[in-house]
C-alpha cells in the first residue's frame, strides 16, 4: 500500500484501514508464535503500512489546521 493511494481516502476509511492492518498484525504475530507463518517479512510490511496510515492521518490533520496542502513530493 502506497502513501499516495492512502491520501485519496477519507478519515473514516483510513480509520477502517488502520483497524484492519492492526488486526492483520495481531494475526501474523499469533501465527509466528504457533509456528505457522512462513513469510515473516509480512510482519515488517504490515508495520510499515500502519506507519504510513498514521502519517497520512497526521498530514490530513495538519492540512485542516493550516488550510494548506502538504507537498507530496517531499514524502
Rounded CA Rg of the chain: 15
Task: Write the pLDDT tens digit of every residue in 27-60.
Answer: 999 999 999 999 999 999 999 999 999 999 999 9
CB 6 within 8 A of CB 34: no
Domain residue ranges of the chain, discontinuous segments joined by + = 3-68
C-alpha cell at 50: 500502519
Just give the CATH number of 3-68.
1.10.287.310
CA 53 to CA 26: how far, in whole Å?
A: 17
Helix count and strand count (H, E) for the chain: 3, 0
When comparing pLDDT for 8 and 69, which is higher?
Answer: 8
Identify the pLDDT of residue 67.
Answer: 79
Amino acid at each position: 500500500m502506497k502513501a499516495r493511494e492512502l491520501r485519496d481516502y477519507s478519515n473514516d476509511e483510513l480509520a477502517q484501514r488502520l483497524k484492519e492492518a492492526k488486526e492483520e498484525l495481531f494475526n501474523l504475530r499469533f501465527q509466528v508464535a504457533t509456528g505457522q507463518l512462513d513469510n515473516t517479512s509480512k510482519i515488517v510490511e504490515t508495520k510499515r503500512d500502519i506507519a504510513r496510515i498514521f502519517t497520512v492521518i497526521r498530514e490530513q490533520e495538519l492540512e485542516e489546521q493550516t488550510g494548506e496542502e502538504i507537498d507530496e513530493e517531499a514524502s
